[in-house]
Amino acid sequence: THFLFHSLQAKMSRPVQARRLEGIDKNIWVEFVKLAATYSKVNLGQGFPDFPAPDFLTEALTRALGGGNHMLHQYTRAFGHPPLVKVLAQFFGKLLGRDLDPMTNVMVTVGAYQALFCCFQALVDEGDEVIIIEPFFDCYEPMVKMAGGTPVFVPLRPNPPKDGKLMSSADWQLDPAELASKFSEKTKAIVLNSPNNPLGKVFSREELGLIAELCVKHDVLCISDEVYEWLVYDGKQHIRIASLQGMWDRTVIIGSAGKTFSATGWKVGWVVGPDRLLQHLRTVHQNSVYHCATIAQEAVAQGFQRELMLYGKPESYFVQLPKELQQKRDWLVQSLDGVGMKPIIPEGTYFLVADISPFKSDVPDVPNSDEPYDSRFAKWMVKNKGLAAIPLSAFYSEAHKNNYPNFIRFCFAKEEATLKAASDILQKWKQEKNSS
By DSSP bridging, strand 172-173 and strand 187-193 are unpaired
Looking at 32, 43, 45, 47, which residue binds ligand PMP (CB under 6 A)?
A: 47
Give Cα 115 distance to the centre of its chain.
12
Q: How far is the CB of 83 from ligand PMP (least distance, A)?
A: 19
Q: How far is the CB of 253 from ligand PMP (least distance, A)?
A: 12
Nearer to ligand PMP, 112 or 332 (CB): 112
Site for ligand PMP contains 137 (CB under 6 A): yes
Nearer to ligand PMP, 114 or 423 (CB): 114
Q: How far is the CB of 225 from ligand PMP (least distance, A)?
A: 5
80 vs 84: CA distance, rounded Å: 7
Nearer to ligand PMP, 47 or 273 (CB): 47
Number of residues lying near ligand PMP (CB under 6 A): 14
Q: How far is the CB of 193 from ligand PMP (least distance, A)?
A: 5
Nearer to ligand PMP, 64 or 268 (CB): 268
Please count the CA atoms within 13 angstroms of the CA of 2 that sit on its side-chain side.
0
Whether the Cβ atoms of residue 269 and residue 109 lie closer than 8 Å to each other? yes
Q: How far is the CB of 244 from ligand PMP (least distance, A)?
A: 20
* Binding track over 287-316 against ligand PMP, x by CB under 6 A: ------------------------------
CA-wise closest residue to 346 among 220, 153, 201, 156: 201
Contacts 24+ apart (CB under 8 A), 56-64: 56/302, 56/303, 56/306, 56/317, 57/261, 57/263, 57/299, 57/300, 57/302, 57/303, 60/298, 60/299, 60/302, 60/303, 61/295, 61/296, 61/299, 63/299, 63/302, 64/295, 64/298, 64/299, 64/302
Q: Return the residues of window 390-429 that contact ligand PMP according to CB under 6 A.
A: none
* N-to-C CA span, the chain: 68
* Binding track over 256-285 against ligand PMP, x by CB under 6 A: x-x-----x--x-x----------------
Q: How far is the CB of 413 from ligand PMP (least distance, A)?
A: 11
CA-wise closest residue to 353 among 329, 370, 371: 329
Nearer to ligand PMP, 49 or 343 (CB): 49
Q: How far is the CB of 202 from ligand PMP (least distance, A)?
A: 13
Looking at 187, 193, 393, 418, which residue binds ligand PMP (CB under 6 A)?
A: 193
Strand partners for 152:
131
For residue 387, which amino acid is it? Answer: L
Q: How far is the CB of 349 from ligand PMP (least distance, A)?
A: 8
Whether the Cβ atoms of residue 349 and residue 367 lie closer than 8 Å to each other? no
Q: How far is the CB of 286 from ligand PMP (least distance, A)?
A: 19
Q: Return the residues of window 66-125 that contact ligand PMP according to CB under 6 A.
A: 111-113
CA geometry: angle 251, 349, 341, nearest 5 deg: 135
Whether the Cβ atoms of residue 324 and residue 158 lie closer than 8 Å to each other? no
142 vs 30: CA distance, rounded Å: 14
Q: Which residues bind ligand PMP (CB under 6 A)?
A: 47, 111-113, 137, 193, 197, 225, 227, 256, 258, 264, 267, 269
